[in-house]
Structure 1
Amino acid sequence: MALKTKNASTRTRLSREHREKEIIAAARIVFIHRGYELATIAEIADSVGVVEGTVLHYFKSKRALMVKVIEEFYEEITAAMESGVSAISGAQNKLRYIIHTHISLLHNNSDLCTVILNESRGSQTELLEKVHNFNRRYSNVVINVVREGKQSGEIADSASPVLIRNVVFGAIEHYLWDLVAGTKREDAELIADQLTQLIFYGIVQKPENSRGEINHLISKLNKLIDQ
């Protein structure tokens, strides 16, 4: 009897997990097409083929369901980002991968990203806090790369990991707004190259004769050593 009870419990748990995933997937589609404010629990329930009470049994409110949709999205992209970065060598290469991957994610999920961006900037403090926490965990991958780069000597000790993170994701957020506004999409490869170069080498115009001056100084130093 104990074995049967255990199996029954396992089946129930798996069924619940499956139902939750169905509801979350349906809610994601409804939120994308209707926006958070216009979306209703009734629409979500109807798309799953259940009654409203069933949805509310799993998620106490529409807000809780929206938070879960955002959470799952961030978990997906965070896992993909961390996995990809771990397989790459060099801080510059890792940073370029992060930028390129993030822009690609915006392209592939622009509708959902628009909903998240709009709702997180609204008046709902709870959702704003949740999104901020999810985003901080996701964007920490840049901070970790900068810290690794500082340890390896690729990145200057004076560089601020938090500031570099803000530059990366701040620039890409502006790109997202252009995307939402219907501006022509730029090539992800080109943006990744340009933003990576900007962060690594700055915007100061390098004099054309700087290499010659350095070589001249090295030559003078060598003569002094030989004396």
Structure 2
Amino acid sequence: MPTLQRTTPRSAKSRQRVDALLAAARSVFSELGFQRATTALIAERAGVSEATVFTYFPGKRELCVQVIKDWYDEITRDLEAALPRLPDIQSQLSYVVRAHLLTLLADGSGMCALVLGEGRTAGPGLSDVIAECQRRYVAPWMACLAQAHARGEIRQDMPLRLLRDLVYGAMEHVLWDSITDRKRPPIDDTAQQLCTLIWSALMPPLPADAHHTSLAALARFKDDVTEALRRLEQRDPPCP
């Protein structure tokens, strides 16, 4: 992982300057992507000279790395706080899916494009940072999956890593389509549809003989209803 800062801000004024730089950098990277963003524009938005950027960051890439790390820290903390409070794995799934779509399609659509698109091609340092941030981001959901798996609430014939990818892989396709088409899908409807689809895949598979058992039970029910109707007709014959 590359060094993020050349000079650590110590005074309150320096910290405010760095905060202003990071806020401006997030705005510029979100709007323009990594390649088109410039340190001159970031400095202008932050109200400082371009030389000030290099006082605290070795270059544009290191500044972008810090922006992405800070953003991931924010959205990861929200998951870490929220998921343990939810009562079961299905409600946790609903929260993860909706929060992910809301964060990346509404609140952070520009950051979503940066991370999924240009951020991944900006060099090995940035790619490594994104991968590490994503591992931490999905860790709370992995913990929920592991607990549900141990309790037998989700299918146990598949590795947890594959179940994790089932969730985030499905959402990533939605995000890519949104970026490509420049059109945001209805978040609540999309989240509900994804949850229904994913939950059906997470549920433990029925035993091999469950289908036959269900058919047999349905046949018995039909016979019982037929017999009850026959007895009712014998007791109260229809009027001529």
Q: Same fold (TM over 0.5)?
A: yes
> Equivalent residues in 2 for 1:25-64 (5 A)?
25-64=23-62
> Equivalent residues in 2 for 1:28-177 (5 A)?
28-107=26-105, 108-122=107-121, 124-177=123-176
How far the C-alpha of 1:184 sits from its partner, in A, is 4.5
**What is the aligned partner in structure 1 of residue 227 from structure 2?**
none
CA RMSD of aligned residues (A): 2.8
**What is the aligned partner in structure 1 of residue 232 from structure 2?**
none
For 2:184 and 2:45, the matched residues in 1 are separated by 32
Q: Secondary structure at the match of 1:165?
A: helix
In structure 1, what residue type is equivalent to 2:216? E
In structure 2, what residue type is equivalent to 1:127? L
Between the aligned residues of both structures, percent identity stands at: 32
For 1:214 and 1:148, the matched residues in 2 are separated by 34
**What is the aligned partner in structure 2 of residue 181 from structure 1?**
180
How far the C-alpha of 1:215 sits from its partner, in A, is 6.8
For 1:184 and 1:26, the matched residues in 2 are separated by 25
How far the C-alpha of 1:136 sits from its partner, in A, is 1.0
Q: Secondary structure at the match of 1:185?
A: coil
Whether the 8 Å CA contact 2:29–2:110 is kept in 1: the answer is no
Work out which of the two has the higher radius of gyration on C-alpha atoms and give 1 or 2. Answer: 2
How far the C-alpha of 1:210 sits from its partner, in A, is 6.2
For 2:167 and 2:119, the matched residues in 1 are separated by 19
Spell out, residue by residue over 1:116-147, the C-alpha distance to the aligned partner (whole angstroms, 9 max, x if none).
21123315111111101101110122211110
Flag the 1:89–1:138 CA change in 2: closer, same or farther, 3 A.
Answer: same
Whether the 8 Å CA contact 1:142–1:161 is kept in 2: the answer is no
For 1:197 and 1:216, the matched residues in 2 are separated by 30
Spell out, residue by residue over 1:82-133, the C-alpha distance to the aligned partner (whole angstroms, 9 max, x if none).
2121221101110111011101112221122102211233151111111011
Flag the 1:91–1:214 CA change in 2: closer, same or farther, 3 A.
Answer: farther
For 1:216 and 1:160, the matched residues in 2 are separated by 37
Flag the 1:183–1:68 CA change in 2: closer, same or farther, 3 A.
Answer: closer
**What is the aligned partner in structure 2 of residue 222 from structure 1?**
none
Flag the 1:183–1:144 CA change in 2: closer, same or farther, 3 A.
Answer: same
TM-score scaled by structure 2?
0.77
Q: How many residue pairs get matched?
A: 207
How far the C-alpha of 1:169 sits from its partner, in A, is 1.1
**What is the aligned partner in structure 1 of residue 223 from structure 2?**
none
Whether the 8 Å CA contact 1:164–1:199 is kept in 2: the answer is no
TM-score scaled by structure 1?
0.81
Flag the 1:182–1:151 CA change in 2: closer, same or farther, 3 A.
Answer: same
Deviates more, 1:118-127 or 1:15-24: 118-127
The gaps in structure 1 that reach 5 residues or longer are 1-10, 218-227
How far the C-alpha of 1:170 sits from its partner, in A, is 1.2
Flag the 1:101–1:69 CA change in 2: closer, same or farther, 3 A.
Answer: same
In structure 1, what residue type is equivalent to 2:151? S
